[in-house]
Amino acid sequence: MQQNLEGKYREVYISIGLYIHNSSIDDGLQNEILNDILDLFLQAQESNEEIDFITGADYKTFCDNVIAESMKKNSSHLKIVKFFKNILWFISYYITIKTLMVVGLYFIGSNKTLTLNINTLDLLILAGSIPSIYIVPFIASKKAFKPKKLLSIIVFSILSMILLIALLGIIAILSGPSFDMPLFAIPFYLPILLSWLIYILINRYYKNQCLKGA
Amino acid sequence: MHNKVGDYMGNSTQLLKGIMEGVILKIISIEETYGYNIYQKLMDYGFTDFSEGSLYPLLLRLERNNYINAIKRQSPLGPDRKYYSLTPDGAQLLKEFSDEWEKLSCNMKKLWEV
């Protein structure tokens, strides 16, 4: 639906989305708030109103007020839980893709066993990617952030991810071990089950904590 | 930071801060309505100095504290739209506000007529 927004409405809506997603508000409430704001924006746009009519002069102050009303208990403990929840979400997706590749290669005959080999490259990709996925929301949450710079920040985060992986790769090469050498091999179903199970448990805990804080 | 003497006088934005919850509850009590319509009604009733950007957080506060209830209905513009109505707690708060406001406005009138 946000495609129906134009110009400044679209630009500010994307920025508000980033700002709200980086807050400690429960994911369900985040979606509800963004849906409410989208409806207000669409109507204001239809009536040719200035965006300030809805958000005031500074959309970040608007977001801060929305966040303050949503979170009665804005604890740092919740932020830490959310941080680990997001990392686990990323790891679970990575493991899912790798497992699908193992199963696919087994069925086409390239793999003889259904074993998941975790090697140095996997650890490098994870170690290099995780910090960079926090660059965009971190910068977007800063007061000095300008929505027009969003694209360059995304490019910057991708480049920093590649650079970090390359840097870790060089360190790994200098340290000795080969990228292909399995660090450990486990049955293909174990990591995918464990990672998603832990993610679901942490996510449920996080949502319960959000509800208690609301 | 301390407010200087006179900061609240002759400044309708400051004066309005304390009464906007009551104003919004009153608008919603007249008929079930949605966010943008509340903006328009505020303008129609002359609350033009109400700080822009303040309405949605206020609606959120009232909803989170169970003073208003929201039902989602289809909107012609796209996403489901929330229609707000008063809860029993909201109706009680509005009554208390109305009584307090009447008392205050009566006292002000008496004083100004001296």
pTM: 0.58
Which value does ipTM take for this structure? 0.81
Per-residue pLDDT of chain A (214 residues), as tens digits, is 667 888 889 989 998 998 888 887 777 788 889 999 999 999 999 888 888 888 888 888 899 889 888 865 445 677 788 788 888 888 898 889 889 988 888 888 887 888 888 887 788 778 777 777 777 667 766 656 666 677 777 777 778 777 777 777 777 777 666 666 777 788 888 889 999 999 999 888 877 766 555 4
Of A189-198, B15-24, B68-77, which has the strongest mean pLDDT? A189-198
Take residue A132 and report the two structure tokens written for it: 């960079």
Query: What are the residues facing B69 on neighbouring strands?
Result: B85
Task: Give B82's pLDDT tier (boundaries 50, 70, 90).
Answer: very high
Decide if A101 touches B, using CB distance below 8 A.
no
The pLDDT value given to residue B6: 56
**Nearest CB neighbour to B77, from listed A42, A52, A68:** A42
The pLDDT value given to residue A72: 53
| CA pair distance A13, B95, nearest whole angstrom | 37
- pLDDT value at B3 more than 70: no
CB contact under 8 A, A68 and B57: yes
Strand-pair category, A182-187 with A115-119 = antiparallel
State which residue of chain B sits closest to A1, comparing Cα positions. Answer: B78
The pLDDT value given to residue A73: 44
CB contact under 8 A, A56 and B82: no
C-alpha separations of B11 from A213, B5, B16, B51 in Å: 35, 12, 9, 12
C-alpha separations of A116 from A122, A123, A197, B20 in Å: 11, 14, 18, 61
Question: How many residue pairs from chains A and B have C-beta atoms closer than 8 A?
Answer: 75
**Nearest CB neighbour to A36, from listed B39, B53, B56:** B56
Q: Which amino acid is at A75?
A: S
| CA pair distance A22, A47, nearest whole angstrom | 30
Question: Considering only A33-42, B74-83, B84-93, which range has the smallest mean pLDDT?
Answer: B74-83
Angle, helix A27-46 to helix A59-70, in steps of 10 degrees: 140
**Nearest CB neighbour to A55, from listed B34, B53, B75:** B53
The pLDDT value given to residue B11: 57
How far apart are the two ends of chain A, measured CA to CA in Å?
28
DSSP label of B60: H
CB contact under 8 A, A56 and B81: no
